[in-house]
Amino acid sequence: MKQIIIIGAGTMGNGIAHSFALHNFQVSLVDTNPDSLNNALQTIDQNLSRKVKKELIQPLQKVQALSNIKLSSSLKESLKEADLVIEAITENLEAKRSLFREIDQFCPSHTILASNTSSISITTLASVTKRPKQVIGMHFMNPVPVMKLVEVIRGYETSDATVSQIMSIARKLDKTPVEVNDFPGFIANRILMPMINEAIYAFYEGVAGKEEIDEVMKLGMAHPMGPLQLADFIGLDVCLAILRVLYDGFGNPKYAPCPLLTKMVTAGKLGRKTNEGFYVYDKA
């Protein structure tokens, strides 16, 4: 596997591109928004520089990694040579389904189609393609260049060959893949999001202030970040979308998103990416 196409150059797409390029894969990073593409390249450059500074990589590796990345706004053109496509667009079922339909049409028959979705059913995405055996979840964690885990999600029809190729490519990126089955939220978000939602409820009900809630979880549970900080880091829109998938998928009221989360997303307070969520951030 050589040619990797990453669709969506936001928070996750740029990190995924960084990791593949650093391990000498040829990467095309595709986005419909030219600003996202330019920001992604800048972020990758900065993150690679940080690794050079920490002496985790050589300066030449940074140059090589950057030269392995091609930016593109033309999806059709990029797909012709694809061995693996990783979709990392906005967490929206209809947008992802329509993209998978398109990708399936323009990719060679051997191409594996992976989604970095946090919670959307891999089986549903596979069902709009003619290659459900070659559709899989490849759920990287944020920030991708740092986090070791890749949750590998097996859809209803995903073949053993596809799972084994994806496990092997994740190891080549120096990540640790963990295989799970396709149920709402998989493992990571099925457990993480109810905790974040409960922290938001505790804040909303005035049980404690945001700093206090985060402090309890950091000091008491040895979490590196408090749940409200983490929600800002992930993106409140992403958290809300995942909770809705859990709520709809299980039909259980315990997953109902806290009204405060819904209100903040409606107001455009999405966390770090908009410089304000539960906390206020300096403009990058």
Q: What is the binding site for ligand NAI (CB under 6 A)?
A: 7-13, 30-33, 36, 88-91, 95, 99, 116-118, 139, 142, 234-235, 238
The active-site residue out of 14, 87, 119, 151 is 151
Please indicate whether residue 151 is annotated as part of the active site: yes
Q: Smallest distance from the beta carbon of 241 to ligand NAI, in angstroms?
A: 7
Residue of 239, 252, 144, 141 whose CA lies nearest to 197: 239
For 63, other C-beta atoms within 10 Å of its C-beta total: 12
Please indicate whether residue 189 is annotated as part of the active site: yes
Q: Smallest distance from the beta carbon of 187 to ligand NAI, in angstroms?
A: 13
The active-site residue out of 115, 118, 119, 121 is 118
Q: Which is nearer to ligand NAI, 33 or 252 (CB)?
A: 33
Q: Which is nearer to ligand NAI, 188 or 208 (CB)?
A: 188
Contact 72, 28 (CB under 8 A): yes
Instruction: For the chain, give the number of residues.
Output: 284
Please indicate whether residue 139 is annotated as part of the active site: yes
Q: Smallest distance from the beta carbon of 60 to ligand NAI, in angstroms?
A: 29
What's the rounded Cα separation, in Å, for the pair 66 and 227? 34
For 6, other C-beta atoms within 10 Å of its C-beta total: 28
What's the rounded Cα separation, in Å, for the pair 159 and 174? 23
Coil, strand or helix at 147:
coil
Q: Which residue is nearest to ligand NAI (CB)?
A: 10
Q: Which is nearer to ligand NAI, 87 or 214 (CB)?
A: 87
Chain centroid offset of residue 108 CA: 24
Q: Which is nearer to ligand NAI, 91 or 182 (CB)?
A: 91
- Angle made by CA atoms 81, 93, 98, in degrees to the nearest 5: 45
Q: Smallest distance from the beta carbon of 234 to ligand NAI, in angstroms?
A: 4
Q: Which residues are catalytic?
A: 118, 139, 151, 189
